[in-house]
Amino acid sequence: MKTGLNYEKFNPVIFNLHTLRESVSYGDLYQWGRSKDGHQNRTSNTTTVTATSANPRHGNFIETTFQTDNNWTDFAGENGLWQNGLNDPCPSGYRIPTKAELNAERLNFNSNDRNGAFTALKLTTGGYRESSLSTIFAAGSEGFYWTSTVSGSEARYMYSFFASSTISTTRRGEGTRYVALKSKILCTLYNLNLNWLSLGQSVFVKSHLSYVQNIILFLV
């Protein structure tokens, strides 16, 4: 990795990929700030009932509307999810990267598009799960990866497709992938929201990003 991070192969399935469109690598799709409670499965059941805490106490994908700010939950501490360890789906010692951390990786891609993301970090085009319909879109053509950074009622993520890769904002109720990051200050190790670990089916990579069944892990 051009930022000085080192990869470590934890899952041969991901590292033996030849293209960014191999469905075995698409992985789970997380709503921003939610834990690994089952909702991330691509075929999980759905509900329209908005949670009122960090823990909805079920594994359904929560469909959202503009009345709920397109978020799956509504409580005072929601902006702290994924930023202080609360609901962090990463393995122990890891966390989801910030917008600045993930963007630093993106700026070093050999081409600023989905091919560059795949070459540098093995990021594939797993698509996303739309927040109001719970339908999966763009699988096989576009990749979406969460960061831990919020922006108003939305959150920041990295979007890669055939023409470019960019950091943008979207509704927290959308289901996308994430990368995990481990700080040398906390521990001298590793994923993020970007390395592969299996939070659904992902691989661990000693870098800033990590994803299980498609989660990217990063080591800083």
pLDDT tens, per residue, the chain with 220 residues: 455 443 333 344 444 555 555 666 788 899 999 999 999 999 999 999 999 999 999 999 999 988 888 999 999 999 999 987 889 888 777 788 889 988 998 999 999 999 998 888 778 888 999 999 899 999 989 999 999 999 999 999 998 988 999 999 999 999 887 766 554 222 112 233 333 333 332 333 333 333 333 334 443 3
pLDDT in the model for residue 15: 45
- What is the structure's pLDDT at 126? 87
Distance from C-alpha of 21 to C-alpha of 72, rounded to nearest angstrom: 29
Half-sphere exposure of 56 (CA within 13 A, CB side): 25
Confidence at residue 50, expressed as pLDDT on a 0 to 100 scale: 96
The phi-psi region of residue 103 (left if phi > 0; otherwise alpha if psi is between -120 and 50; otherwise beta) is: alpha
Residue recorded with tokens 């990786």: 105
Q: What is the pLDDT of residue 64?
A: 93
Q: Which DSSP letter does residue 8 get?
A: -
Closest CA to 204 of 83, 105, 93: 93
Strand partners, 175: 31, 129
Domain ranges of the chain: 12-219
**pTM, whole model, 2 decimals?**
0.78
| Max CA pair span of the chain | 45
Burial, 131: exposed, middle or buried (Cβ in 10 Å; 0-12, 13-18, 19+)? buried
| pLDDT in the model for residue 206 | 30
According to the model, what pLDDT value does residue 62 have? 96
Beta bridge partners of 128: 137
Dig out the tokens for 168 from the structure: 């943008």
